[in-house]
Amino acid sequence: MAADDPLPPDRPVLRKTAAGGGGLSVRDLRVSYGPVQALRGVSLEVPRGSVVAVLGSNGAGKSTLLRAISGTLRFHRGSITSGGVEYADGPLSGLDASAVVARGVTQVPEGRRVFGRMTVAENLRAGTLGVRGRKAAAAAREHVLELFPVLAERAGQRAGLLSGGEQQMLAIGRALMAGPQVLLLDEPTLGLAPLMAERIADTVRKINSEGTTVLLVEQNAAMALSLASHAYVLEVGEVVMSGPAGELAASDEVRRRYLGESDEELTAEDAGDGEAPARLVLTRWSA
Ligand code: ATP
């Protein structure tokens, strides 16, 4: 099946993820940009301390989901038409972007948006504006420079002159300056060479191991599924599959559509002498 073929209408899907008490909850979220309905009733759970991935092809609604969580939809002329977002058992939807940051949820937008004319140090300082006191900002800076030593080496350099990978590090570093409890990452490895993508993935693991919850939106399904404990697949504004990342990674449909494996490869594996791949117990999606 080609990557852009429609999914069968009554396709099976995996189990819904268990709710994560005190984590981030998206409930039946509908979002429109004027006449364009970008999300059509999306529900998902990001338990505290987890890495959760959202996979999907171009236009599936991944960035829209993160914008709705981070309060930045209005900058794109979008709005939530129903449903909502909660974090730590309080509503996030309705808050503006700076209030969402103050609640501990920070987004790293797609496309490594750094202030190109500002230095690396100034970009990092911008991440703390209106959020924290001096002492906390200094501690956050130290932590970021420990994670990304190259940013210390380039502190006085204009951000626009950094490589793509370094700009991504700076974008993540700037978000971390706010000391988030939840980090929203929009395609952090997009356009990066495999080695750099792996470094970014390692950093995400480290950030999570230090206690930060991560919601990761990715087209790079292999990378995302290697990082996440749970994943959701979004198609045309709807969740069509969800489940433990390992189970999704073993599903033929995900392997065909998102991991680039051909029907021949999947059939050959099924017919081989080796150990059979894990098989899923599929249940129909009933949100
Ligand atoms: P990509 O990986 O290409 O960024 P995505 O999964 O992040 O895709 P979105 O960018 O969230 O998808 O887009 C979801 C839908 O909303 C698409 O149909 C897109 O064309 C539409 N859309 C996104 N931003 C806007 C906007 N500012 N105005 C109008 N429509 C938009």
Q: Which two tokens stand for residue 18?
A: 């268990």
The torsion angle over the Cα atoms of residues 48, 50, 56 and 58, rounded to 10 degrees, is 70
String of DSSP letters for 50-100? -EEEEE--TTSSHHHHHHHHHT-GGGGT-EEEEEEEEETTEE-TTS-HHHH
What is the pLDDT, as a whole number, of residue 269? 58
Residues with C-beta less than 6 Å from any ligand 1 atom: 33, 36, 38, 56, 58-64, 76-77, 110, 219
β-sheet bridge partners, residue 108: 185
How far CA 162 is from CA of 118, 143, 171, 173, 287, in Å, comes to 11, 20, 11, 14, 44
Amino acid of residue 29: L
DSSP 119: B
Query: Which residues have C-beta within 8 Å of that of residue 275, sequence separation ≥ 6?
Result: none
Report how far ligand 1's centroid is from the alpha carbon of 62 (Å).
8
Query: Which residues have C-beta within 8 Å of that of residue 146, sequence separation ≥ 6?
Result: none
Site to probe by mutation for ligand 1, drawn from 58, 216, 234 as the one with most ligand atoms within 8 Å of Cβ, is: 58
Q: Which is the closest atom of ligand 1 to the Cα of 76? A: 27
What is the pLDDT, as a whole number, of residue 267? 63
Report how far ligand 1's centroid is from the alpha carbon of 215 (Å).
18
What is the pLDDT, as a whole number, of residue 130? 64
Among 192, 184, 250, residue whose Cα is nearest residue 220 = 192
What is the pLDDT, as a whole number, of residue 94? 87
Strand, helix or coil at 20?
coil
Report how far ligand 1's centroid is from the alpha carbon of 147 (Å).
31
Q: Which two tokens stand for residue 98?
A: 């700076």
Alpha-carbon radius of gyration of the chain: 19
pLDDT in tens, the chain (287 residues): 333 333 333 333 333 333 445 799 999 999 999 999 999 999 999 999 999 999 998 899 999 999 999 999 999 999 999 999 999 979 998 899 999 998 999 999 887 788 889 999 999 988 887 666 788 888 889 999 999 999 999 999 999 999 999 999 999 999 999 889 999 999 998 888 899 999 999 999 999 999 999 999 988 888 899 999 999 999 999 999 999 999 998 888 888 877 776 666 666 655 554 443 333 323 233 33
What distance lies between CA 110 and its chain's CA centroid?
Answer: 10
Report how far ligand 1's centroid is from the alpha carbon of 110 (Å).
12
Among 46, 43, 53, 51, residue whose Cα is nearest residue 23 = 46
Report how far ligand 1's centroid is from the alpha carbon of 61 (Å).
6
Report how far ligand 1's centroid is from the alpha carbon of 227 (Å).
24
Please state the domain extents for the chain. 23-250, 251-282
Residue nearest to atom 31 of ligand 1 (CA): 33
Q: What are phi and psi of 91, to 5 degrees?
A: -70, 140
What angle (nearest 5°) sits at the alpha carbon of residue 221, between those of residues 24 and 196?
A: 100
CATH architecture of 23-250: 3-Layer(aba) Sandwich (3.40)
Residue nearest to atom 1 of ligand 1 (CA): 58
* Alpha-carbon span 41 to 275, nearest angstrom: 39
